[in-house]
Amino acid sequence: MKVGGKDGKLYKIKAGEAITGGSSVALEKSGFYRIASIASSGSSLPTPDTSIEGAKGIKVGQVVHLWKGQALASGDSVIPLELTLISFVTDVGNSKQGTSHDVTSQSNLESGVREYLPGAFSEASGTINGVYEVGSVAQRELLNQFQEITVDDGTHITRLPAKVTNQDYMLSRRETETVGEIATWEHFPVTVESIQTDKPMDGAQTFNFNYRVDGGNFPGVIEYTVVAEPSD
């Protein structure tokens, strides 16, 4: 199934309180969770499908989708992630670039073509575009990385000194709740490098920022087949 732009959205991630496993402990709702710990033996967390070539199990720090009723054994713990739609976003540019190393030697003279080896690392970056939105907490957090912000709510005046922080996002490619269909998401932690906030004479006040994906915070694509949730 091919998807269009309207099928995907960008969300801000907020971590909740960790849920610790034990006797008869199970998740009360379906959603995205960060793996906080995995029992050294007897874990109840899902295991890999060994029929898929190169399959490996989940790891601590990884973001996964878990279903309501998922058991957590003693030693297992997960952190629920709350997703909030970032309303000011219009478009999300996303470019991935691998590396290669020239290992051409005289043995390649006969072919006349250089030989390359793939590098161990890739880089993902892009630009997220939107419109300036008054009152957007997500936008305020981005601006606060580059300048101090003062907030006056009529009762309090709060000063927010500039603070550099990484932003943790979830990008959906296809959202669905239909049993048997495949939903596709991308865990999208980024480091913001620059922001542009134009103020034209006419038209929308645009807002855009350039980013690089943070490889230390477990980025990656998450695909899951929708299953019927257990009834209460």
Q: What local confidence, expressed as pLDDT, does residue 97 receive? A: 87
Q: What local confidence, expressed as pLDDT, does residue 171 receive? A: 94
Q: What local confidence, expressed as pLDDT, does residue 120 receive? A: 87
Q: What local confidence, expressed as pLDDT, does residue 230 receive? A: 78
List, for residues 71-125, the tens digit of each pLDDT value: 999 999 999 999 999 999 999 988 888 888 999 999 989 898 999 999 888 888 9
List, for residues 22-62, the tens digit of each pLDDT value: 888 999 999 999 999 999 999 999 999 999 999 999 999 99
Q: What local confidence, expressed as pLDDT, does residue 143 receive? A: 93
Whether residue 66 is predicted with pLDDT greater than 70 in this model: the reply is yes
Q: What local confidence, expressed as pLDDT, does residue 174 receive? A: 93
Q: Percentage of the chain with pLDDT > 90?
A: 76
Q: What local confidence, expressed as pLDDT, does residue 121 receive? A: 84
Q: What local confidence, expressed as pLDDT, does residue 86 receive? A: 92
List, for residues 153-173, the tens digit of each pLDDT value: 999 999 999 998 889 999 999
List, for residues 128-143, the tens digit of each pLDDT value: 999 999 888 899 999 9
Provide the pLDDT confidence category of residue 2 given band limits of 50, 70 and 90: confident
Provide the pLDDT confidence category of residue 187 given band limits of 50, 70 and 90: very high
Q: What local confidence, expressed as pLDDT, does residue 232 receive? A: 66
Q: What local confidence, expressed as pLDDT, does residue 33 receive? A: 98
Q: Is the dihedral of CA 59, 223, 213, 117 positive or negative?
A: positive
